[in-house]
Amino acid sequence: MSGACFGLILYASTMVGLIIAKSYRDRPRQLQSIRTGIEMLVTEIVYAATPLSVALENVSQSQAKPAAEFFALTGRGIAEFMPVRQSWAMGLAYLQTSSALLWADLEALRLLGEVLGVSNRDDQERHLLLACRRLEALYANAVEEAARNERMWQFLGILIGVVVVIVIL
């Protein structure tokens, strides 16, 4: 096997390691961004009584991707008379493919989508704050996992590559 093949194996394994490390690094940031967005929704819904589609659009403008796109997609669906649950699920499907969020993170968001817009402001506030608390706990867990795994995967990728090359040799 040529040196080029070994180089390719090392490159591929290093990249896989870096991608996994990046997902550990991105998850807390993305969770934080969504939580901030939901806190802004509290203001939009509870204090300004802004209709959901407009509130989500406003929130999306102050966040970075992928949170911005999640809120914008959901808001657009609602503006086009799509049921909130369906529109929210569309946003979650986007997060599933375009973010570092895990199933537990998406599940916490899905629960919020079940009750969004269907009750008075007091009740909406309760559900939004509950979602914030859930996301806060997930964020703490994501920070812990990032501290434990991010650096490890940065090196583990290249290390696996080296081991594979040695085994082949």
Task: Please work out, in degrees rounded to the nearest 5, the angle formed at the alpha carbon of residue 33 by the alpha carbons of 65 and 31.
Answer: 105
Residue 97 CB, shortest distance to another protein, in Å, is 25
Nearer to another protein, 7 or 83 (CB): 83
Is the backbone peptide bond immediately before 66 cis, with ω within 30 degrees of 0? yes
Least distance (Å) between residue 107 CB and another protein: 22
N- to C-terminal Cα distance for the chain? 9
Nearer to another protein, 49 or 137 (CB): 49
Query: What DSSP element (H or E) covers 114?
Result: helix 103-115
Closest CB 138 distance from another protein, rounded Å: 26
What distance in Å separates the CA atoms of residue 156 and residue 140, rounded to the nearest whole number? 24
The contacts of residue 97 (CB under 8 Å, 6+ apart) are: none
Find the shortest distance in angstroms from Cβ 129 to another protein.
Answer: 14
> CB-wise, 51 or 69, nearer to another protein?
51
CA angle 27, 29, 31 (to 5 degrees): 65
Output 113 or 161, the one with its CB closest to another protein: 113
* Closest CB to another protein among residues 123, 144: 123
The residues of the shown chain that bind another protein, judged by CB under 8 A, are: 45-46, 49-53, 55, 78-79, 81, 83-84, 116-121, 123-124
- Rounded to the nearest 10°, the torsion over CA 49, 42, 67, 155 is 180
Least distance between another protein and beta carbon 165 (Å)? 57
